Structure 1
Amino acid sequence: MPRRVMFVQVKTGHDTDRGPSWIGWVDFSRTWSTAYFQGRTLRRAGGMRDANFHDAGTGEEFWLSGPERDRTDTRYGPARTGIEADAVEAYRAFLAGAPLPGRENG
């Protein structure tokens, strides 16, 4: 199962880019259509306004993307993004210029 450090933000019930967000490890299915994060099963979906995944159980919408080195992960302003403890080392290395784990070749 592919695993990447990702930016994850809850979109449902929050103003644009104001939902809780994290930098953390996300596991993906072989086809990249399903993501697993914090015990949730997130399915890729099109046609949503501000989201690219939804929770298969609750329907909540999420935005998943690779993190930005300049920490501008939210589109419309600063947001407080938590970093999961098990991702801190990989994220700090990325900020210092290392490729993201799993993305060494692109």
Structure 2
Amino acid sequence: MPKARIMYIENKSESLNGPARIGCVTFSKTGKSISYGGRTFQSLKGRGYKANYFDVETGERFWISGPRKDGQDRLYAESSARIEIDPDVLEEYWRDIRGKLPE
């Protein structure tokens, strides 16, 4: 069974501060690709500029990483752009990653 994990996913194809979300990704058996939202991502293996994965169909570049306990997931913390959290992981994210439920 493929491994699933809550991750931070930011689209870097348009700018350094692209649309971002927290959601549950699924890793392939080999661990070489990640699936999320009907898309498949493969590693850039260190060849990306401010991105570590690309969408295999569109070539769009993404930053995908484990979410941080302090919520500062963006590479550029000065960005005030909102980070969406998928409803199906909302409670687990706040409880297990951030260590508190939202008020």
**Shorter-normalised TM range:** 0.7 to 0.9
- SS state at 2:25 partner: strand
1:46-71 deviations in whole A, cap 9, x for unaligned?
21111111000000001110001111
* Gaps in structure 1 of 5+ consecutive residues: 98-106
The answer to whether structure 1 residue 74 and structure 2 residue 74 are counterparts is yes
Question: Residue 42 of structure 2 aligns with which residue?
Answer: 43
What's the TM-score, normalizing by structure 1? 0.84
Equivalent residue pairs, number: 95
**TM-score between both structures, scaled by the size of structure 2:** 0.86
SS in 2 for 1:62: strand
Paired residues for 1:12-91 under 5 Å:
12-14=13-15, 16=16, 18-46=17-45, 47-77=47-77, 78=79, 79-91=81-93
* Aligned-partner residue type, residue 6 of structure 1: M
For the aligned residue pairs, the C-alpha RMSD in angstroms reads 1.2
**Counterpart-to-counterpart distance in 2, 1:42 and 1:75:** 19
Structure 1 runs (4+) deviating above 3 angstroms are: none
Identity %: 36
